[in-house]
Amino acid sequence: MTEETYFFDTYAIMEVIQGNSKYEHFLDSKIIINDFIFAELCYNLLKDNTKGKEEYIKKYSQFISYPSSEVIEKATKMRYEKRKNDLSMTDCISYLQAKNLGIKFLTGDKEFENLENVEFVKK
């Protein structure tokens, strides 16, 4: 079996942590996130007072890949052009970073459901 690589959105990571069975397929995947996703993850774990949050922080910190300045620039344009869809800057950067890396963006955020290069999994 070939290990697939996905760029995990914060939504996807939280679903994995919460044990959503629809995300079981991705448990053996190679994970990539960026520092923006990592910051959101740390915040959500703290906000939700997630049991074992320190272990999750340690685990996911090793998957950080930093976006290029070009990706960030394109993400600002994407967010501006799709401002009616209320996309976050983090999601735009992450989506375009995934696309730039040639891997799918794994998310359950409805704003990304019909975009190319997305593996959409909802609760």
List, for residues 40-80, the tens digit of each pLDDT value. Answer: 999 999 999 999 999 999 999 999 999 999 999 999 999 99
With beta carbons less than 8 A apart as the criterion, state whether 105 and 99 touch: yes
Q: What is the pLDDT of residues 83-123, one digit of tens each?
A: 999 899 999 999 999 999 999 999 999 999 999 999 999 87
| DSSP tag of 81 | H
Nearest to 66 by CA among 108, 35, 43, 90: 35
pLDDT band with cut points at 50, 70 and 90 for residue 1: very low
Amino acid at 9: D
Which two structure tokens, joined as six digits, stand for 5? 């690589």
The mean pLDDT value of the chain amounts to 95
Delineate the domains of the chain, giving CATH numbers in brackets: 6-120 (3.40.50.1010)
